Amino acid sequence: MNAMTLKNTIAIFVLSLSLFSCNDGDLEIERVDLSESDIASCDNFRETGLIFKADENEALILQLPTNFLRNRATTDSIESLIPSNSKLYYRFFDGDVDNNYFCSVITPATPSVENEITASGGIVRAATTAKADGSGFNHGIRIHGAVLQNEAGESIIEDEFYLGTFSTSPENANLDIVYSNDNVVSYCNDTLLYKTGITNEGKGIAIVLDLEKDMLLDQVTEEDSLRTSDIGTDSRVFFHIFSGPVPEGYFCASEKPETPEEQAVYEASQGEISIATSENGENNGYVHQINLAKMLLLDNQDRRLIPANTSLGVLTTGGSTDDEDSQP
């Protein structure tokens, strides 16, 4: 998680202190400051939607709908209403509190909650961006129009404050794929490459690369000058799922057979393709090592279909041993 500050926004809680100070000396809060704490969650965040910031004997807790923060970049911010959809609390404890307090199956007996401020109104807004390295997503969370109310019914309203950035990573789809030719990539021409396989459930899969021109050349590359292409802008990567095994030459055929039936297709939203080319001494052809990096390729359940950084495989061109369905 990234450490985020509440500078210039902590006033909402500082002002609220006058509403919750006790005259009898039992409890008097002088200042709330969680600027040094990170937004955290428990391992079951997908099931609970609970995030929090804890520092010594204070904590901010935000309960979100479980499907609110998705592993998808957003064009515009998304919203959740407080308190009907989301809950926001500030708690003051009689001792130091840490992440284990919120993640325990049974709430610990100590520390105990001495005071709790509940937001009775407001809007949670979140904007989601993909991480540049393809590892996941950053969700910037802001609270607008938060209404905090004490037991006497007195309340204050803060127009906006920035809670911080919360990060999530997609889980793996775990399709258990066995590729047809192990580490071998096939191609139809110098811009259409593919690799096929089958899952443990008998479904056919295919990874298809729609390359930009001049990526697949019979020219040796140096170690520090690989040919690269950005996925989503210059090149595209697709993941196909079929009802059965994919026939040889399927993607090179001008007319596709009726079977197997294509059940789904997903496109990578970002990433980089790199190709390293060397001479093949056996047949005077060329060997192209194709790698994918910083890639986000997710299914409709936000699960990762291919690792962010992976070796797609090897393609051999220009040699006498090329098989027919690998000819351009």
Polymer length in residues for the chain: 328
List pLDDT tens digits, range 62-107: 999 999 999 999 999 999 999 999 999 888 899 999 888 999 888 8
282 with 197, same domain: the answer is: yes
List pLDDT tens digits, range 136-154: 999 999 999 888 776 666 6
Q: Note whether residue 5 is domain-resident.
A: no
**Mean pLDDT estimate for the chain:** 85
Tokens describing residue 212: 């930009």
Report how many domains make up the chain: 2
Q: Which of 262, 248, 256, 264 is nearest to 305 (CA)?
A: 264
161 with 185, same domain: the answer is: no
Collect contacts of 321-325 with beta carbons under 8 A, ≥24 apart: 321/282, 321/283, 321/285, 322/285, 324/249, 325/186, 325/248, 325/249, 325/252
210 with 133, same domain: the answer is: no
| Gap between the Cα atoms of 237 and 50, Å rounded | 34
Q: Note whether residue 48 is domain-resident.
A: yes
| Gap between the Cα atoms of 262 and 277, Å rounded | 33
Place of tokens 């194709």: 290
125 with 85, same domain: the answer is: yes
36 with 158, same domain: the answer is: yes
163 with 185, same domain: the answer is: no
Residues of the domain holding 184 = 178-326
Tokens describing residue 65: 């709908």
88 with 196, same domain: the answer is: no
Q: Note whether residue 45 is domain-resident.
A: yes
322 with 228, same domain: the answer is: yes
Q: Note whether residue 265 is domain-resident.
A: yes
pLDDT in the model for residue 220 = 95
pLDDT class of 156 with cuts at 50, 70, 90: low
Residue type, 143: I
pTM: 0.82
Report yes or no: 257 and 274 within 8 Å, Cβ to Cβ: no
Listing DSSP states for 112-129 in one string gives -EEEEEEEEEEEEEEEEE
Average pLDDT value for residue range 287-308: 97
List pLDDT tens digits, range 21-50: 433 433 333 334 566 788 999 999 999 999
Listing DSSP states for 2-64 in one string gives -B---TTTTHHHHHHHHHH--TTSS--------TTPBPEE-TTHHHH-EEEEEETTEEEEEE-
